[in-house]
Amino acid sequence: MTPVDRRNLLVHGASTAAAFALAPEILRAASLERTNAPIDVAVIGCGRQGRAILGELAKIEGVRVAGVVDVLDSRLKSGQRRVQGAEGFASAKELLDKLKNVSAVFVATPSHTHKDVALECLDAGKAVYCEAPLATTLDDARVLARAARKSGKPFATGMYGRSNPIYGLARSFFRSGSIRDVATLRAQYHKKNSWRTPGSNPDEEAALNWALDPKLSLGLVGEFGAQQFDVFHWFLGAYPTAVRGFGSVQLHKDGRVVPDTVVCELTFPDDRRLLWEATLANSFESQYELFCGSMGAIKLAWTAGWLFKEADAPTQGWEVYANRQQFHDEQGITLIADATKLAAQNKLKEGIGLPNPPLYYALADFLKAVTENGTVACSADEGMRAAAVAILANQAIQLGASVAIDPAVFKSE
Amino acid sequence: MQVLATEAMATRFELVLAANDEAGGDETRLRAAGEAALAIVEECEREWSAFRADSFLAHVNREAARRAVPLSEDQFELFAACDDVWRASDGAFDPSVAPLLGAFDRRGGELDVARARERVGWKSVELDRERRTLRFTREGVALDLGAIAKGHALELAAIELRAAGVANALLHGGTSSVLALGGPPDTDAWRVALEGGDGAPVVELRDAALSVSAQHGRTLADGSGHVLDPRAKISTPNKALVAVVHRSARLAEAWSTAILVQREPSGAARELDVAIGSGPRFARAWRFTRPRSNSSFARPSTVPA
């Protein structure tokens, strides 16, 4: 690419930033089209994720949570405390039989149950939002992706990066060559936590701790890796061809076999490598994705993002508006959605960090697709691909070896 | 015994959990129970932090002048507590001081501060107790729940601990809000000193909460203390330290701020267990609003009655 081409691309990137505005306005809460009557939705699964979904749905105008489902009564009650007037059910079937007006269902059950619950909702003619990973086996993921396509209803996999305004802005910079030639890719999930949940009796405790059961769970790579791998799939427009993995129990030596610390190396086309690591033994720097190129690096941390430029990278006009943050010896330009507009209003500092959690944008995007018959941010097929990579990465971790990824796993037909 | 901690609401929350048979008696289950409680604290951080653009509180501050914001049961209970203490303290506790806190903290000029003063006043906040919604009756209102949210988080965390069978624990948020479940293994009550050094009272807590408020905890950028008098719309000049014991952690926290602003407990505050200290290290003079009425405050022997 010549310097002139590059400048044009960056100018294009900047104007993309200038034009970038989440519709509806980024600082306002989302509301569905006023011409539409409020839509009834339901949430299946009232654990931590289900409750977070309920909390974010309550912010969106034009949405009524008509029903919530959980097999555990304490969790069901906890879900009902989150919203006003939601009827409680012990199973998806009861809800679907009774609440015929529900248009869309949010599935936040344990990952290994996603397929059955989501299929039930699709069979009942509902639009479905399913948390990641889409499924925990290749067969389940494929069956669900096929059913979602056949249903003709909107089906979204909850991949937050694809709806996140900061990630969208970062991707436009990335795709327009702002860090030039990609050399390394890195991501991590760090959170000091045992991953155990207390229950009131042994059966309940076993059910709540499904994530520590190796027969049911993909471990850290399923619960967090799939979400982060999808960011790289989306940015690169490519999928890995092989994965190498290692795992061990470093801190929580309580008899578990699901590792509390894992490292994976994913090989992408052009011999690009993504190093991903996750641990439940340490919280340092939490969760992020990092793209390093010959002219700079982009670091994304879910509610914020930064561009770090190489010293020889050209300076662009839009940088006069930019906010900067110091990270030890590095200075990052803060990536702010709608930056130029905020700068014109002298409100640039107010735009640092998302005004809502990433989950909110994923839900709002899905509801927009439901009410306006639009496309979802992350399809079932894309969800299937991220799940497939996580499933094979988990195999690699269990084997402590490299596993080739057959491109056929990325096709649902 | 397990000690767990997390950073939330710009401070450190810590739990000390004592093992008991009901909690399974094993450290793994005790830790899991503690982590579930800390997860609740972290949820409260995401909801109520004044330091996050994506908190529910930030959402309320952006939206409530435009429409009635629906509240969950827990959110409603918190705002209802704000409303109750605002009324009972004659406005000495008022979370709508946020604009003025902001103006002082950015060293705003006279005009900036004057505009911020106009925006203070809980009377512009309408809590619909039937519909469970909250709205602002005018533009520019903004809330800061820094004087109640830590206690709220502790209360919800304690519910989680009890549900997991933990009967004995001490929880605190930034050391200024403390909640005791039961007592430590060998004694009846958790003993908490109000200040370092000799002469400070020791509070004995069992299934009760303690909150301490003073100006010296944090200073705003313009040099003033962080506790504002919402009625005079200035930083309160009271240099005392106020401690309140209450069954409810959020009410203890709200009332300790209210009494610091009132200077002397008045109205409903006279019914509370309050200790007020003054002097450079609060060692010279302590007053107890209900001496001997409750064993919560152990009078230090060095302090004259």
What CATH number does residue A63 fall under? Answer: 3.40.50.720
- A192 close to B (CB below 8 A): no
Q: A197, B163: Cβ pair inside 8 Å? A: no
Is the predicted pLDDT of residue B300 greater than 70, yes or no? Answer: no
On whether both A177 and A139 belong to a single domain, the answer is no
Instruction: State residue A237's pLDDT score.
Output: 97
Is the predicted pLDDT of residue A320 greater than 90, yes or no? Answer: no
* A32, A163, A254, best to mutate vs chain B, most B CBs in 10 Å: A254
Short-list B13, B10, B5, CA closest to B155: B13
**Among A residues 125-164, those touching chain B with beta carbons less than 8 Å apart:** none
End-to-end CA distance of chain A: 38
On whether both A173 and A144 belong to a single domain, the answer is no
Q: How confident is residue A1, by pLDDT bands cut at 50, 70 and 90?
A: very low
Lowest average pLDDT, out of A213-222, B150-159, B177-186, goes to B177-186
On whether both A334 and A225 belong to a single domain, the answer is yes
* A·B CB contacts under 8 A: 67
Q: B47, A55: Cβ pair inside 8 Å? A: yes
Lowest average pLDDT, out of A7-16, B135-144, B226-235, goes to A7-16
Instruction: State residue A5's pLDDT score.
Output: 37
Q: B39, A356: Cβ pair inside 8 Å? A: no
Average of per-residue pLDDT across B162-174: 94
Q: How confident is residue B94, by pLDDT bands cut at 50, 70 and 90?
A: very high
- Show residues of chain A in contact with B47, CB under 8 Å: 55
- B28 close to A (CB below 8 A): yes
- Shortest distance between the Cα of A263 and any Cα of chain B, in A, equals 24
Give the pLDDT confidence of B197-228 residue by residue, as tens digits: 666 778 889 999 999 998 876 777 777 788 99
Lowest average pLDDT, out of A2-16, B153-167, B188-202, goes to A2-16
Instruction: State residue B250's pLDDT score.
Output: 96
A259: CB partners within 8 A, 6+ apart? A219, A220, A247, A248, A249, A397
Domain residues for A54?
Answer: 39-161
On whether both A131 and A169 belong to a single domain, the answer is no
- B63 close to A (CB below 8 A): yes
Q: Does domain B56-136 have CATH number 3.40.640.10?
A: no
- The whole-chain average pLDDT of chain A stands at 90
Q: How confident is residue A14, by pLDDT bands cut at 50, 70 and 90?
A: very low
- B53 close to A (CB below 8 A): yes
On whether both A155 and A171 belong to a single domain, the answer is no
On whether both A124 and A174 belong to a single domain, the answer is no
Give the pLDDT confidence of A327-372 residue by residue, as tens digits: 999 999 998 877 767 666 666 666 667 889 999 999 999 999 999 9
Average of per-residue pLDDT across A147-158: 97
- Shortest distance between the Cα of A73 and any Cα of chain B, in A, equals 13
Give the pLDDT confidence of B1-48 residue by residue, as tens digits: 899 999 999 999 999 999 875 555 588 999 999 999 999 999 999 999
Q: B58, A352: Cβ pair inside 8 Å? A: no
User: Of the candidates A126, A161, A196, which is a domain's last residue?
Assistant: A161
| C-alpha angle A166-A41-A123 in degrees, rounded to nearest 5 | 105
Instruction: State residue A142's pLDDT score.
Output: 98
Q: A74, B165: Cβ pair inside 8 Å? A: no
SS3 of chain A: CCHHHHHHHHHHHHHHHHHCCCCCCCCCCCECCCCCCCEEEEEECCCHHHHHHHHHHCCCECEEEEEEECCCHHHHHHHHHHCCCCEEECCHHHHHHHCCCEEEEEECCCHHHHHHHHHHHHHCCCEEEEECCCCCCHHHHHHHHHHHHHHCCCEEEECHHHHCHHHHHHHHHHHCCCCCCEEEEEEEEECCCCCCCCCCCHHHHHHHCHHHCCCCCCCHHHHHHHHHHHHHHHHHCCCCCEEEEEEECCCCCCCCCCCCEEEEEEEEHHHEEEEEEEECCCCCCCEEEEEEECCEEEEECCCCEEEEECCCCCCCHHHHHCCEEEECCEEEEECCCCHHHHHHCCCHHHHCCCCCCHHHHHHHHHHHHHHHCCCCCCCHHHHHHHHHHHHHHHHHHHHCCEEECCHHHHCCC
Q: A28, B47: Cβ pair inside 8 Å? A: no
- Shortest distance between the Cα of B10 and any Cα of chain A, in A, equals 16
Q: What is the CATH number of the domain that holds A330?
A: 3.30.360.10
User: Of the candidates A140, A161, A182, which is a domain's last residue?
Assistant: A161
User: Of the candidates A143, A161, A179, which is a domain's last residue?
Assistant: A161
- Show residues of chain B in contact with A83, CB under 8 Å: 72
Q: Which residue of B has its CA nearest to A356?
A: B54
b/e burial code for range B232-248 (CB count within 10 A of at least 16 → b): ebebbebebbbbbbbeb
On whether both A280 and A302 belong to a single domain, the answer is yes
Give the pLDDT confidence of A199-209 residue by residue, as tens digits: 888 899 999 99
On whether both A249 and A196 belong to a single domain, the answer is yes
On whether both A138 and A8 belong to a single domain, the answer is no
What is the CATH architecture assignment of B183-305?
Answer: Roll (3.10)
- Shortest distance between the Cα of A204 and any Cα of chain B, in A, equals 12
Q: Which residue of B has its CA nearest to A197?
A: B32
Q: How confident is residue A32, by pLDDT bands cut at 50, 70 and 90?
A: low
> Hey, where are the domains in chain B?
1-50+146-175, 56-136, 183-305
**Among B residues 125-154, those touching chain A with beta carbons less than 8 Å apart:** 132
Tokens of A118: 């989501």
**ipTM, 2 dp:** 0.90
Instruction: State residue B282's pLDDT score.
Output: 53
On whether both A276 and A347 belong to a single domain, the answer is yes
Domain annotation covers residue A27: no
Instruction: State residue A17's pLDDT score.
Output: 33
* CB A129, CB A99: distance < 8 Å: no
Give the pLDDT confidence of B255-286 residue by residue, as tens digits: 999 999 998 888 888 888 888 877 555 555 66
Q: A200, B46: Cβ pair inside 8 Å? A: no
Q: How confident is residue B296, by pLDDT bands cut at 50, 70 and 90?
A: low
- B29 close to A (CB below 8 A): yes
Q: A74, B29: Cβ pair inside 8 Å? A: no
- Shortest distance between the Cα of B278 and any Cα of chain A, in A, equals 40
Give me the number of domains chain A comprises.
Answer: 2
Q: How confident is residue B297, by pLDDT bands cut at 50, 70 and 90?
A: low
On whether both A337 and A218 belong to a single domain, the answer is yes
Instruction: State residue B279's pLDDT score.
Output: 56
- A28 close to B (CB below 8 A): yes
On whether both A337 and A385 belong to a single domain, the answer is yes
- Show residues of chain B in contact with A84, CB under 8 Å: 70, 72, 132
Choose among B29, B47, B72: nearest Cβ to A83.
B72
Domain annotation covers residue A68: yes
Is the predicted pLDDT of residue A80 greater than 90, yes or no? Answer: yes
Query: Which has more pLDDT, B57 or A12?
Result: B57
Instruction: State residue B194's pLDDT score.
Output: 83
- The whole-chain average pLDDT of chain B stands at 87
